Structure 1
Amino acid sequence: MGRSRTFEWEDPRVSAGAVAHHSGIEFLREILDGRLPAPPIAAALGFTLEEAEPGRAVFALVPGEEHYNPIGSVHGGVYATLLDSAAGCAVQSALPRGTGYTSLDLTLKFLRPVTVDTGKVRAVGTILNLGRRTALAQAELLDSDDRLLAHATSSCMLFPVSSG
């Protein structure tokens, strides 16, 4: 029996256009409150932004078969996407209005497998250092018992965002 999944997303240009008009934390809170659409990748993978405060961002995912690799566990790319999102949004949450970021690198350590039996996982991102041009953040992927499933560090480049 085949399996299928459908999902919908909103125009990503709406949120992208709002970056220049909000501080980073305001921008993330607009997404949390549903006033700005979440990015399409969140709909594609089925994860959500659950928390945002200055210097910290938390994403959650309930793993499903659609996240599996050929050997029957969640694909490392799903881990990486969650951890990159959490680390990057932790940086975003501390940025002033008119400043954006992009990930320069992501270093990941896989510690435990994730399957549908794992249940909801959370990627908790925090800033380690925020400079004028770069930032360093980390993210931890945790299960419901706060066991560490994976860890990542990310360097981010900061840059001005135009409102045009």
Structure 2
Amino acid sequence: MGRTRTYDWDDPATLAEAATRMAGIDFLRELRAGRLPGAPISRTIDFTLDEVEPGRAVFSLTPGEEHYNPIGSVHGGVYATLLDSAAGCAVQSTLPLGTAYTSLDLTVKFLRRITADTGPVRAIGTVVNKSRQTALAQAQLVDATGRLLAHATSSCMLFPVPIARE
């Protein structure tokens, strides 16, 4: 018999618009505090933003079989999504009002297999370097004991955006 998982999400336009009204760190703090709705992808995969400070963002996930690939372990795309979120939000946490980012690339190294037995994992993103137009970030995916499961680097392009008024 098949298994079922049900979830919901909020209109992503609400979140995107909110991002244009505040500095990156303030936006992420509002998201973390639950005063802004979570991103649809976070509901789909079921991960959360646990910590944010300038230049650093931490996401967590408890892996389950709904994250599995056909060979019985967590799909690499789930690893990549967590690492991309951590690295990208680390960059976002450094951006002033009126500046946005987009990922230019993501390089992931898968080091260990993850299953439901692995327990909770954390993706810890940090900014390595930032200039006016680009930023370089890294992220580590670790288990509860701190064992490294995967590593990623991400280059991001920074660009101006119009500031929305309330």
Q: Same fold (TM over 0.5)?
A: yes
SS at match of 2:34: coil
Q: Which runs of 5+ in 2 are unaligned?
A: none
> 1:67-120: CA deviations, max 9, x gaps?
000000000000000000000000000000111100000000000000000000
Question: Normalised by the size of structure 1, how large is the TM-score?
Answer: 0.98
2:52 matched to 1:52?
yes
Aligned residue in 1 for 2:10: 10
Aligned residue in 1 for 2:112: 112
Give the residue type in structure 2 aligned to 1:136.
Answer: L
Number of equivalenced pairs: 164
SS at match of 1:85: helix
SS at match of 1:21: coil
2:72 matched to 1:68?
no
Q: Percent identity?
A: 70
Aligned residue in 2 for 1:147: 147
Give the residue type in structure 2 aligned to 1:131.
Answer: S
Superposed displacement of residue 6, structure 1: 0.6
Q: How does 1:94-105 map to 2 (within 5 A)?
A: 94-105=94-105
Aligned residue in 2 for 1:33: 33
8 Å CA contact 1:19–1:161 kept in 2: the answer is no
**Distance (Å, rounded) in 2 between the aligned partners of 1:26 and 1:83:** 21
8 Å CA contact 1:92–1:101 kept in 2: the answer is yes
SS at match of 2:20: helix
Cα RMSD (Å): 0.7
> 1:139-163: CA deviations, max 9, x gaps?
0000000000000000000011213
Give the residue type in structure 2 aligned to 1:124.
Answer: I
Aligned residue in 1 for 2:78: 78
2:139 matched to 1:160?
no
**Distance (Å, rounded) in 2 between the aligned partners of 1:7 and 1:161:** 32
8 Å CA contact 2:25–2:92 kept in 1: the answer is yes
Give the residue type in structure 1 aligned to 2:89.
Answer: C
Kindly report structure 1 stretches of 4+ aligned residues shifted beyond 2 Å. Answer: none
8 Å CA contact 1:17–1:163 kept in 2: the answer is no
Question: Normalised by the size of structure 2, how large is the TM-score?
Answer: 0.97
> 1:39-82: CA deviations, max 9, x gaps?
10000000000000000000000001010000000000000000
